[in-house]
Amino acid sequence: MAFCNICHYDTIEEEFDICPVCFWEHEDIPESEFGKATGGPNADLSVITGRENFKKFGATQKRLLAYVVPPKRDWKHAADAESREVISKRQEAARARHGIKAEKLG
């Protein structure tokens, strides 16, 4: 498992996996490119913008709030900086503010 570039949970098994915590599609981006939008699977978002969005409302983009899930207890965090409860509450509050219902992914 690898750590997600955005939320820093170990949810990535291979290139182009989508992180269930923040909904970032993993792509191998050098750290020197984190400030640039690559135009790849995450469209016009840079890693830095994705991280800022995740800290604000719990997903890389508001339109993806319906699909994100709180981190599972067995997922490791790269820095253990944020608790699972904080992320879960941020996601729930943002969904409520924007009138978005959580969706179950299949």
User: Where do the DSSP E strands lie in the chain?
Assistant: none
Backbone Cα Rg of the chain = 13
In the chain, domain spans: 1-106
Q: pLDDT tens-digit profile of 56-80?
A: 999 999 999 999 999 888 888 776 6
For 16-22, what is the mean pLDDT? 95
Residue 2, SS3 per DSSP:
strand
What is the distance between the alpha carbons of residues 45 and 89, in angstroms, rounded to a whole number? 24
Give the per-residue pLDDT at 65.
Answer: 95
